[in-house]
Amino acid sequence: MKTIRVVAAIIRDKDKIFATQRGYGEFKDGWEFPGGKIEEGETPQDALKREIMEELDTEIKVGELIDTIEYDYPTFHLSMDCFWAEVITGHLVLKEAEAAKWLTKEQLDSVDWLPADVTLIDKIRIEL
């Protein structure tokens, strides 16, 4: 099974985190943490900064690694490094996602998370 390595930003603003809804592809309409694939020669942190600039027109500061999620989808294995992040400059402009929300700890279960992303929710809830 093919492994896809990606990074995800858990963008935090005080007691809220930023979630996006996929606007394309096999998992369209599912909710996820923004990010994307790691390109050859990139560190996960550099990939995350690049992806957030591309997808949200926003510069972020990448914080500590929360977890690396290993998840088997039917056609591929996902390895996702998930980092805390905060906005440095920009306004989180949606260039690829169809929707976005700031969620409090109590609202984390209010969206339909993609299967790999949902495995991170309990760890985030503890930190918020």
pLDDT in tens, 26-51: 889 999 999 999 999 999 999 999 99
Determine, yes or no, domain membership for 97.
Answer: yes
Per-residue pLDDT for 111 more than 90? yes
Q: What is the mean pLDDT of the chain?
A: 95
d(CA 19, CA 22): 10
Q: CATH number of the domain at 8, please.
A: 3.90.79.10
Determine, yes or no, domain membership for 91.
Answer: yes
Determine, yes or no, domain membership for 16.
Answer: yes
* pLDDT value, residue 25: 86
Determine, yes or no, domain membership for 122.
Answer: no
Range of the domain at 65: 3-115
Q: What is the DSSP letter of 110?
A: G
At residue 6 the predicted structure's pLDDT band, cuts being 50, 70 and 90, is very high
Single pTM value for the model: 0.94
Which are the contacts of 34, defined by CB distance < 8 A and separation ≥ 6?
A: 8, 9, 11, 18, 20, 51, 52, 55, 56, 97
Domain total in the chain: 1
Closest CA to 121 of 72, 111, 63: 111
Determine, yes or no, domain membership for 124.
Answer: no
